[in-house]
C-alpha cells in the first residue's frame, strides 16, 4: 500500500460513534470517518435522516449502522452504547456533534433569555455530551481511544448583537471546560479528548445566518480567510485528524475551524 493510500485510511478498522449524524457537521463527519476506513455507528433522533446518511456511506463502500437515539436520555444513551459494542465489540473514537440553537425556545441576551430556552439548550448541547462521554468512556479506556467534542467560536469569544444567544454560548463554553477537564484526567490512561470550535458553517442549523443579507455582508470581517461560510467537510476533516493516530500526542486542544473569526 502506498504511503498516500495509507494516509487516507487512518481509521482503518476502528469503530467510531458519531452523534448528530443525520445532518450537517455530524453527517459530514460520519462520511469522512467511513471514507478513512472506520466502522461508523451513526446516532441521531431522526430515523429518516440517519437512513440517508447510512445509505450514502454504504453506497460509497463504507460501513455504517444507524442508531436512533435521543442523547439527552440516560437510558437511551446507555442502551445504544451497548448495542454498538454488541455490533463491533470495541470502540475507538467518539465524535459528539449534537447541538441546537435555542432561539425558538427563547434564547437570547441574559436579560431576555427565557428559562425554557436556557434549560433546553444546556440539556441538548451540554448534558448530552456528558451522557455520551460517560457511557462510552469505559470502552474507550480499553482501546486508549479518542474523543472530539463540538463547541463553537461563541464558546471562546463574545458575540455581538447578531450572535447574542447566551445560553448557546454558555453551553459551548461548558463543552470546552468539560473536555479540558477530561483531557487532563484521562491522559494518564491514554484517552485523548479534544475540541473543535467552528465558526459559521453552511449547515441546516445556520440557515438563519445564510438567509440574512446583513450577516452575509459581514462574512469578510467575521471569517476573513475566505469571506464565506465554512463547509461541514472542513470540520469533518479536522475531526478525522484528531481521532487518528496522526494526533496521538494531542490532547486538551481547542481548535478553531473558523476562517479567522477568533484570530482578531
Q: Which residues are the active-site residues?
A: 168
- Alpha-helical (H) ranges within the chain are 3-7, 24-35, 47-59, 74-88, 115-122, 128-143, 166-186, 207-210, 213-222, 232-243
CB atoms within 10 A of CB 60: 11
Per-residue pLDDT tens listing for the chain (264 residues): 444 445 579 999 999 999 999 999 999 999 999 999 999 999 999 999 999 999 999 999 999 999 999 999 999 999 999 999 999 999 999 999 999 988 889 999 999 999 999 999 999 999 999 999 999 999 999 999 999 999 999 999 988 888 889 999 999 999 999 999 999 999 999 999 999 999 999 887 767 777 788 989 899 999 999 999 999 999 999 999 999 999 999 999 999 999 999 998
Q: What is the pLDDT of residue 163?
A: 84
Distance of CA 32 to the CA centre of its chain: 13
Would you say domain 3-101+129-157+170-258 falls under CATH 1.10.3720.10?
no
CA atoms within 13 A on the CB side of 122: 11
Domains of the chain, residue spans: 3-101+129-157+170-258
pTM: 0.94
Distance CA 8, CA 53 (A): 20
Report the distance separating Cα 100 and Cα 104, nearest Å.
10
Please give the Cα distance from 39 to 92 (Å, whole number): 10
Looking at residue 5, its pLDDT comes to 47
Largest Cα separation within the chain, whole Å, is: 59
Q: Which residue bears the cell 449524524?
A: 21
Amino acid at each position: 500500500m502506498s504511503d498516500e493510500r495509507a494516509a487516507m485510511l487512518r481509521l482503518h478498522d476502528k469503530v467510531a460513534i458519531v452523534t448528530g449524524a443525520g445532518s450537517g457537521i455530524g453527517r459530514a463527519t460520519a462520511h469522512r470517518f467511513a471514507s478513512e476506513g472506520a466502522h461508523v455507528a451513526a446516532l441521531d433522533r431522526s430515523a429518516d435522516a440517519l437512513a440517508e446518511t447510512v445509505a450514502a456511506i454504504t453506497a460509497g463502500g463504507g460501513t455504517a449502522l444507524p442508531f436512533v437515539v435521543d442523547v439527552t436520555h440516560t437510558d437511551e444513551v446507555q442502551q445504544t452504547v451497548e448495542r454498538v459494542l454488541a455490533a463491533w465489540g470495541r470502540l475507538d473514537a467518539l465524535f459528539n456533534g449534537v447541538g441546537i440553537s435555542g432561539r425558538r425556545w427563547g434564547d437570547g441576551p441574559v436579560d431576555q433569555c427565557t428559562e425554557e430556552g436556557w434549560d433546553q439548550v444546556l440539556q441538548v448541547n451540554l448534558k448530552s455530551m456528558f451522557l455520551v462521554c460517560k457511557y462510552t468512556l469505559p470502552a474507550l479506556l480499553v482501546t486508549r481511544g479518542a474523543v472530539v467534542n463540538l463547541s463553537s467560536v461563541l464558546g471562546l469569544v463574545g458575540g455581538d448583537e447578531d450572535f447574542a444567544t447566551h445560553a448557546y454560548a454558555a453551553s459551548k463554553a461548558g463543552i470546552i471546560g468539560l473536555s479540558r477537564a477530561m483531557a487532563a484526567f484521562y491522559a494518564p490512561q491514554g484517552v485523548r479528548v479534544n475540541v473543535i470550535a467552528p465558526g459559521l458553517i453552511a449547515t441546516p442549523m445556520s440557515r438563519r445566518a445564510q438567509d440574512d443579507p446583513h450577516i452575509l455582508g459581514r462574512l469578510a470581517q467575521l471569517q476573513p480567510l475566505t469571506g464565506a461560510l465554512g463547509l461541514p467537510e472542513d470540520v469533518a476533516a479536522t475531526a478525522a485528524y484528531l481521532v487518528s493516530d496522526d494526533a496521538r500526542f494531542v490532547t486538551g486542544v481547542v481548535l478553531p475551524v473558523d476562517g479567522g473569526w477568533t484570530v482578531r
